[in-house]
Amino acid sequence: MTTRATVLQILRDAPEPLPIAEVAARAGVHVNTVRFHLEALTDSGLVEQLRAEPTGPGRPATLVRAVAAMDRTGPRTYLPLAQLLLDDVAAGPRPKEHARRAGRRWGRRVAEEVYADHPEPVDGLIDALGELEFAPERTSSTELELHHCPFLELTTPTGGLVCAIHLGLMQGVLDGAGSDVRVERLDPFVRPDLCCARLSAAS
């Protein structure tokens, strides 16, 4: 068990809030180490801090206790869920069109955040793709190279629905920017380690 998990378990097992020094003693680690982990657990909503009742002069002690909540930092298994949803789209009419539309909606939401910092549309698209772990590289005014696919396990050798979603995502980001540049197509796996997005020149 990690130190952070140990700290959380100590608090979950405690019938009442504990002083930080007591948590450190029970965990067998330095109090500053416990403070570090408590800060992260508090940010995750798993722990809350409160003041002890004053017992005399001076600042009341800080107490900590676990919050009844699922651990948002714990293991995740999204792959089966994603595959289930893709299978459902694939079974319906015009699945690639459906997937691309979903991607465009996603892209427009992404654009709302991206273009606060990037007035140039393609720069904003590159930044968005980088944040999503596509490892983009602009090689010309009409081409973006994508050196990683964060959804690789769900793709097919010819791309499939995942690539349709990705194409729609890029189109939606540029739509959200009001850009004249368009992503005309996405060529999946032009090499085993590379996909290419083809852009239209700005009018």
Give the residue with greater pLDDT, 58 vs 84: 84
User: Do 175 and 86 sit in the same domain of this protein?
Assistant: yes
In a domain, 117, yes or no: yes
CA distance 128 to 179: 15
Range with the largest mean pLDDT of 50-54, 150-154, 198-202: 150-154
Kindly tell me if the per-residue pLDDT of 90 is higher than 80. yes
Kindly tell me if the per-residue pLDDT of 178 is higher than 70. yes
> pLDDT of 151-174, one tens digit each?
999 988 777 899 999 999 999 999
Q: Looking at residue 107, which CATH number applies to its domain?
A: 3.30.1380.20
Average pLDDT over residues 87-96: 93
Kindly tell me if the per-residue pLDDT of 144 is higher than 90. yes
Going by C-alpha positions, the residue among 94, 108, 105 that lies closest to residue 174 is 108
Q: Looking at residue 11, which CATH number applies to its domain?
A: 1.10.10.10
* Model pTM score: 0.70
The range of the structural domain enclosing residue 156 comes to 79-200
In a domain, 71, yes or no: no
Domains of the chain: total? 2
pLDDT at 44: 86
Q: Which residue has the tokens 């017992």?
A: 55
**In whole numbers, what is the pLDDT of the chain averaged over residues?**
90
CA distance 65 to 71: 15
CA distance 143 to 146: 10
> pLDDT of 11-33, one tens digit each?
999 999 999 999 999 999 999 99
Amino acid at 66: A
Average pLDDT over residues 169-186: 93
In the chain the first and final C-alpha atoms are separated, in Å, by 58
Average pLDDT over residues 96-118: 89
Amino acid at 62: T
pLDDT at 202: 63
